[in-house]
Structure 1
Amino acid sequence: MMDLTELKEAIESKQYDKIADICDELQLQLAAQGIKEPEGWPYCIHLLGHIYTQDINSARFLWKRLPSSVKESQPEVVAVWKIGQCMWTHDYAGVHGALHSFNWSPEVQQIITALSDSYTKRAFELLLAAYSTISVADTAQFLGMSKDDALAYTLQRGWTLDSASQMLTVKKMPAVVDQRLHSSTLQNLTEYVFHLEH
């Protein structure tokens, strides 16, 4: 008998980063009991758990292990894998397209929404790190938004627009400097000052 209580609790409490580990562990426990393909296994959620944490290698191996009957009979599993494929090839627009191109079941939809939000934030952080200027069109493609939405999203975060060229100037975030001194550094400084005074 399969107990999915821990998995359901993780989903209900929006701890989506725990889904893959919970499913992997449960699958190992079932395999130890000789159950290789449990009836009613949440393949879609399991695959999405790996994709949510962007562990695309594990998602690929899980996809390869899936019975062909599941791939043929569960279009939602195939749709989830499309997201993983696009992540694997760094097709940012494709990821956003795959996230929004399927009529997800309610349980999966909440994870998809969280994945979409976190993926947009990660893409934005990549743009921050990689560009000093970028076109509105390219920004929209990376963020999976319309040009107007991408423009509003970036302007809210302090970027500026050159209307003539439709180029955005990226506002870099100030670097946070850790100003704590390591105890050995403090010790060395103390000894140095002591040496100067004596």
Structure 2
Amino acid sequence: MRKFESRIQQLESEETECGLSSFQYKLLLILYLAKGDITSARLLWKRSPKELKETDVQFMSIWNVCRSAVREDFEAVFNSLSVDHLCVPPIKEYIEELREAIQLRQQEAFRTLFTKISIQYYAKSFGIDQQRAIQLAECNGWKRSEDPNILVRCKFGSLPKRDLFQESIIWTLMNHLEANSKTYPTISDENKE
């Protein structure tokens, strides 16, 4: 994901020039995982200070997310992201970005790989309860089949226009634009003068 690239490059440069703080190591590991770059995450783990790997509970929990992602155990991934010591500032906001990035990749993978899936598996794969999973699935082009425990992918013509993530991104952008809007003269305004 491109949005993480500049921050990753900045942290990698700092690591080369003067080393990183424990927070920066955690942040870089989170960014690699959010980008889906497991290889770089593994290399970072190997070159991280031994003390950090053995004593920093947050760093070890983030590493557990990586290990679970490698095993494709997404229930464990989301359980690891929900532990209390990762839900405190300043790490919390980055953990939420990581969770969203993983969920977006999961949605894309499910669209590509499956035409039919159990609701229970869908819920586990997104780290959410079954009711929320049904809502998320329906917003992403799935519907319940005759078997109430199974989701089937909608045909192309019956896909919803936007999913929840797209909707929230649009609202965020609109709010940002409204908050930062400036009035610019138009051609008709210039002609009036």
Q: State the TM-score, normalizing by the size of structure 2.
A: 0.71
Cα pair distance change 1:130/1:172, threshold 3 Å:
farther
Per-residue CA distance 1:2-30 (angstroms, 9 max, x = gap) = xxxxxxxxxxxxx5443322111111122
Identify the match of residue 115 of structure 2 among 118, 121, 132: 132
Per-residue CA distance 1:70-97 (angstroms, 9 max, x = gap) = 1222111111111111112221211111
AA partner of residue 106 (structure 1)? P
For structure 1, the 5+ residue unaligned runs are 1-14, 31-36, 175-198
Cα pair distance change 1:40/1:87, threshold 3 Å:
closer
Aligned counterparts of 1:110 and 1:157: Cα–Cα separation in 2: 25
Q: Does the 8 Å CA contact 2:35/2:101 hold for their aligned counterparts?
A: no
Aligned counterparts of 1:131 and 1:39: Cα–Cα separation in 2: 42
> Shift in Å at residue 106 of structure 1?
1.0
For structure 2, the 5+ residue unaligned runs are 158-193
> Shift in Å at residue 46 of structure 1?
2.0
> Shift in Å at residue 132 of structure 1?
1.0
Identify the match of residue 60 of structure 1 among 42, 50, 55: 42
Aligned ranges for residues 16-55 of structure 1 at < 5 Å? 16-30=4-18, 42-55=24-37
Q: Does the 8 Å CA contact 1:120/1:143 hold for their aligned counterparts?
A: yes
Cα pair distance change 1:17/1:67, threshold 3 Å:
same
Q: Does the 8 Å CA contact 1:161/1:168 hold for their aligned counterparts?
A: yes
Identify the match of residue 124 of structure 2 among 131, 141, 150: 141
Cα pair distance change 1:38/1:110, threshold 3 Å:
closer
> Shift in Å at residue 134 of structure 1?
0.8
**Which one has a bigger Cα radius of gyration?**
1
Structure having the larger proportion of residues in helix:
2
AA partner of residue 15 (structure 2)? Q
RMSD (CA atoms): 2.1
Partner of 2:85, secondary structure, is: coil
Identify the match of residue 101 of structure 2 among 105, 118, 127: 118
Aligned counterparts of 2:141 and 2:20: Cα–Cα separation in 1: 51
> Shift in Å at residue 102 of structure 1?
3.6
Cα pair distance change 1:152/1:39, threshold 3 Å:
closer
> Shift in Å at residue 172 of structure 1?
5.0
> Shift in Å at residue 173 of structure 1?
4.8
1:153 equivalent in structure 2? 136
Q: Does the 8 Å CA contact 1:83/1:95 hold for their aligned counterparts?
A: yes
Q: Does the 8 Å CA contact 1:93/1:142 hold for their aligned counterparts?
A: yes
2:163 equivalent in structure 1? none
Aligned counterparts of 1:151 and 1:40: Cα–Cα separation in 2: 39
Aligned length: 154
Q: Does the 8 Å CA contact 2:53/2:60 hold for their aligned counterparts?
A: yes
User: Where in structure 1 do 4 or more consecutive aligned residues deviate above 6 Å?
Assistant: none
AA partner of residue 16 (structure 2)? L
Q: State the TM-score, normalizing by the size of structure 1.
A: 0.70
